[in-house]
C-alpha cells in the first residue's frame, strides 16, 4: 500500500506550477497528507540588485500565501517555504530530504531540443536526484 504523509510541490509561480499545485492538492486530500509549497528564489547575494533581498524573500512568501486557500491551511496543514539558491533543483531535493517528503510534484514546461539544452530542466534534475517519487505535470 502506498502511503503519502508529506507532499511537496515546487513552484516558480508559472502556469505549469499552478497545474502542479492542483495535482498536489488533490493527492494531499486523497492521502490525508501535509502539503508543502516551496519556491526557490535566485540567490542575489553577490549580484547587483535594486531591491532589498529581505523584501524579495517576503514578497515571494506573500505570493505563496496568496496561492494557499483556507482549506489548504486547515485540512492539508499547508506550509509555505521560500529557499534561496543558485541551483533550484538541488534546493528542492535538499528540502525533500530534510522534511521527509514522500512525493514531489513539479510543473514542467515541456521544452525540447535546443531550448532544453540551453535553458536546462529543473524538473529533469529533480527526477534524477530526488530521494522519493516525482510527479511532473505539464500545463495543457
SS3 call for 29: helix
> Under a CB-based contact definition with an 8 Å cutoff, are residues 38 and 93 in contact?
no
- The shares of helix, strand and coil residues in the chain, as percent rounded to the nearest 5, are 45, 25, 30
List 36's β-bridge partners, or say none.
Answer: 8, 79
Residue 119 has a pLDDT of 42
Averaged over 27-33, what is the pLDDT?
96
Residue 38: helix, strand or coil by DSSP?
strand
> Residues of the chain with pLDDT > 70: what percent?
84
pTM summary value = 0.86
pLDDT score for 65: 92
Amino acid at each position: 500500500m502506498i502511503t503519502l504523509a508529506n507532499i511537496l510541490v515546487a513552484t516558480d509561480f508559472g502556469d505549469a506550477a499552478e497545474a502542479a499545485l492542483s495535482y498536489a492538492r488533490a493527492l494531499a486530500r486523497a492521502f490525508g497528507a501535509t502539503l508543502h509549497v516551496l519556491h526557490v528564489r535566485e540567490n542575489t547575494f553577490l549580484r547587483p540588485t535594486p531591491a532589498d533581498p529581505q523584501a524579495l524573500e517576503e514578497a515571494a512568501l506573500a505570493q505563496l500565501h496568496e496561492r494557499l486557500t483556507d482549506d489548504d491551511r486547515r485540512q492539508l496543514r499547508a506550509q509555505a517555504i521560500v529557499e534561496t539558491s543558485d541551483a533550484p533543483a538541488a534546493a528542492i531535493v535538499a528540502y525533500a530530504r530534510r522534511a521527509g517528503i514522500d512525493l514531489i510534484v513539479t510543473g514542467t514546461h515541456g521544452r525540447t531540443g535546443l531550448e532544453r539544452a540551453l535553458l536546462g530542466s529543473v524538473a529533469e534534475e529533480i527526477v534524477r536526484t530526488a530521494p522519493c517519487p516525482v510527479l511532473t505535470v505539464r500545463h495543457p
